[in-house]
Amino acid sequence: MLQALEEKIATRNLAPGQMVTRMAPSPTGFVHLGSIYMGLINTTLARQSGGVCMLRIEDTDQKRQLDDGIAQILTAFHTLHIHFGEGPVLEGAEKGDFGPYIQSHRKDIYQAYAKALIRDGKAYPCFCSSEELDKVRDEQTLKKERTGYYGKYARCRDLSDAEILQKLQAGASFVVRIRSNGSHENRMDVKDIIRGTRSVPQNDMDAIIIKASDGLPTYHFAHVIDDHLMGTTHVLRGDEWFPSLPLHMEMFYIMGWKAPKYAHLSPIQKMDGTAKRKLSKRKDPEANIEFFLEQGYPVNAILEYLLNLANSDFEDWRKKNPALPLADFALDLKKTSPSGALFDLDKLNSISRRIISEYSNTEAYDLALAWAERFSPAFYPRMANEASYIKAILNIERENVRRRKDITRWGTLQDDISYFFDDLFTAPDLATVTGKNPDVLKAVLSGFMGALEHATDRDAWWEATKAATDAAGFCSDTKAYKANPDAFHGSIADFMKIVRLALIGREDSPDVHEIMMVMGLEKVKTRLAKHM
């Protein structure tokens, strides 16, 4: 069996430079922003090199599994437009010739290798209980020694065959440990694509490779077996694995296999008080990719932000190539920083605003509708039933040369445009809000109302509105106003602010003429009349 598996690797038939990468999440909960980041990088690099990226489910810790863990992973990556060439596609089905891609389905493979290692004296059964190991660890800590199973602490390492047989016959439970030949006194070089060549002490830990509790492998063993049998050329993983590199190198050596190339990426961090720390699955809602989807950030905004974290020259590229798809950006691990980046919501917001501003009217509507369908039961019926009205609203100043950038995410859209709907609109008390004399307010609104008869011709309307401005004692010429502000009730800007308040209840908005055209003159007149 083993030989057939090993011979199969050659069928990948890789051309020089083609990368086989893998994304290897554990189905233990929601999908983390960091997983999306890793997935993006792994799939991008594979695609760019003409290789393939696999999805491998690392479910060797049966205690922490979630029933729908795999489904969550598949859904999240699919939603984020991250696609794998091999791996599980549905519960029970998978694509690719190097599977199974779910580690719990590979138990026989790991056990077969473990047996071969024991037979060759490269691994051995260890009968130490967790309690005994804990005790040893406490002792080591007390004596300020390195903790772990090495040297004289590796008590089962040199058990005789007779002793082993005796314990086995007594029904003792055991784990399988790899027999390390390294010494902590000797140093070795390890290579990392991002960090370069580093000198570290050799591994001397007799790490567990097969657990007693369920017969499944530990991460270390599964990594070595799977990445060899699946033909992985590049292992890109979190930098928490960097310290395990000597162990992994030694395990590849013991197996007689060539190790893949490694790159260790720093995790995305956040500020907690004055300290930086990793985004935490438990403490930080924004660690969950769903959080961003629910907030209504477009998928492309999330991906662009992540790409920017991976290679900060991404934004230069984007500036030069505003219309190219993300996939055209040439990602380069050599440009990835070894230090961990702080998550920056301001930056995400800025990217998201730009991306939303670049959508065509239809795209914007479709995306907003899809968001509402999933996340806003209250807003969705309106989005669906009043499609043409909402499209018109979204289209205001959209196809201008200078596009509006006032929508940051779909989550705030309903509030952004609420004044277009009578049931969501509350008329303010103008006198209170503006502090102006009621007679002045009346003059403003009736003047504005009068100009409305030219509303279908934008230029004529604006001329009439300027005339109304002057008639109401405001000043339509900004320069003249600035030269002598005391001579007027205010400038045309102040005049229009009063109009805006009456019309939409806010001082700020897109172009008033466009709003009126979308809203319809009936509604405009009704709203103005309320204040007169």
Partner RNA sequence: GUUCCCUUCGUCUAGAGGCCUAGGACACUACCCUUUCACGGUGGUGACACGGGUUCGAAUCCCGUAGGGAACGCCA
The stretch among 89-97, 251-259, 340-348, 382-390 that binds RNA (CB under 7 A) is: 340-348
Other CB atoms within 10 A of residue 286 CB: 15
- By CB under 7 A, name the one of 195, 382, 436, 442 that touches RNA: 195
CB of 38 vs RNA, minimal distance in Å:
11
Cβ-proximal residues to 497 (8 Å cutoff; 6+ apart), any chain: 434, 507
Binding of RNA by 138 (CB under 7 A)? no
How big is the chain, counted in residues?
A: 532
- Residue with Cβ nearer RNA (191 or 374): 191
Binding of RNA by 510 (CB under 7 A)? yes
Q: Hey, which residues does 176 pair with through a beta bridge?
A: 125, 210
Token pair belonging to 238 = 């979190």
E-assigned strand segments in 208-283? 208-210, 234-238, 261-265, 269-272, 275-278
CB of 109 vs RNA, minimal distance in Å:
15
Contacts (CB under 7 A) with RNA, residues 58-87 = 58, 60-61, 63-64
- Residue with Cβ nearer RNA (50 or 525): 525
- Residue with Cβ nearer RNA (233 or 469): 469
How far, in whole angstroms, is CA 243 from its chain's centroid?
Answer: 25
CB of 240 vs RNA, minimal distance in Å:
4
Burial 185-216 (b: 16+ CB within 10 A, else e): eeeeebebbbeeeeeeebbbbbbbbbbbeeeb
Nearest Cα residue to 449 out of 530, 352, 525: 525
CB of 473 vs RNA, minimal distance in Å:
16
CB of 385 vs RNA, minimal distance in Å:
27
- Residue with Cβ nearer RNA (78 or 187): 187
- Residue with Cβ nearer RNA (99 or 375): 99
Q: How many CA atoms lie within 13 A of 93 on its CB side?
A: 3
Binding of RNA by 124 (CB under 7 A)? no
The stretch among 38-46, 225-233, 329-337, 523-531 that binds RNA (CB under 7 A) is: 329-337
Give whole-number Cα distances, 208 to 53, 171, 172, 501, 528, in Å. 28, 20, 17, 71, 77
Binding of RNA by 500 (CB under 7 A)? yes
Contacts (CB under 7 A) with RNA, residues 473-492 = 478, 492
- Residue with Cβ nearer RNA (8 or 405): 405
CB of 321 vs RNA, minimal distance in Å:
15
CB of 209 vs RNA, minimal distance in Å:
9
CB of 94 vs RNA, minimal distance in Å:
18
- By CB under 7 A, name the one of 17, 201, 381, 520 that touches RNA: 201
Contacts (CB under 7 A) with RNA, residues 347-376 = 347, 349-350
- By CB under 7 A, name the one of 78, 135, 276, 283 that touches RNA: 276
Binding of RNA by 286 (CB under 7 A)? no
- Residue with Cβ nearer RNA (19 or 309): 309
- Residue with Cβ nearer RNA (233 or 336): 336
- In whole angstroms, give the CA distance from residue 299 to residue 81: 8
Token pair belonging to 92 = 């029970």
Read off the amino acid at residue 360.
S
Query: β-strand 52-55 against 20-23: which pairing, if any?
Result: parallel
Evaluate whether 308 touches 315 at the Cβ level (below 8 Å): yes
The stretch among 191-199, 225-233, 252-260, 294-302 that binds RNA (CB under 7 A) is: 191-199
Give whole-number Cα distances, 266 to 255, 338, 382, 422, 458, in Å. 29, 6, 44, 50, 55
Binding of RNA by 104 (CB under 7 A)? no
CB of 272 vs RNA, minimal distance in Å:
8
Q: Which residue has the tokens 């492998």?
A: 217
Q: Hey, which residues does 278 pair with through a beta bridge?
A: 269
- By CB under 7 A, name the one of 198, 283, 525, 530 that touches RNA: 198
Evaluate whether 317 touches 329 at the Cβ level (below 8 Å): yes
CB of 7 vs RNA, minimal distance in Å:
27
- By CB under 7 A, name the one of 179, 211, 382, 454 that touches RNA: 211
- In whole angstroms, give the CA distance from residue 71 to residue 79: 12
CB of 464 vs RNA, minimal distance in Å:
13
Total number of residues binding RNA (CB under 7 A)?
85
Nearest Cα residue to 515 out of 371, 429, 418: 418
Q: Hey, which residues does 192 pair with through a beta bridge?
A: 196
Binding of RNA by 312 (CB under 7 A)? yes
Peptide bond into 428 cis (omega under 30): no
Number of H helices, E strands in the chain: 23, 13
- By CB under 7 A, name the one of 275, 388, 435, 522 that touches RNA: 275
H helix runs in 190-229, sequence order: 219-229
CB of 11 vs RNA, minimal distance in Å:
26
- Residue with Cβ nearer RNA (181 or 387): 181
Binding of RNA by 18 (CB under 7 A)? no
Contacts (CB under 7 A) with RNA, residues 236-265 = 239-244
Q: Binding marks (x or -) toward RNA, 402..431, rule CB under 7 A?
A: xxxxx-------------------------
- In whole angstroms, give the CA distance from residue 42 to residue 45: 5
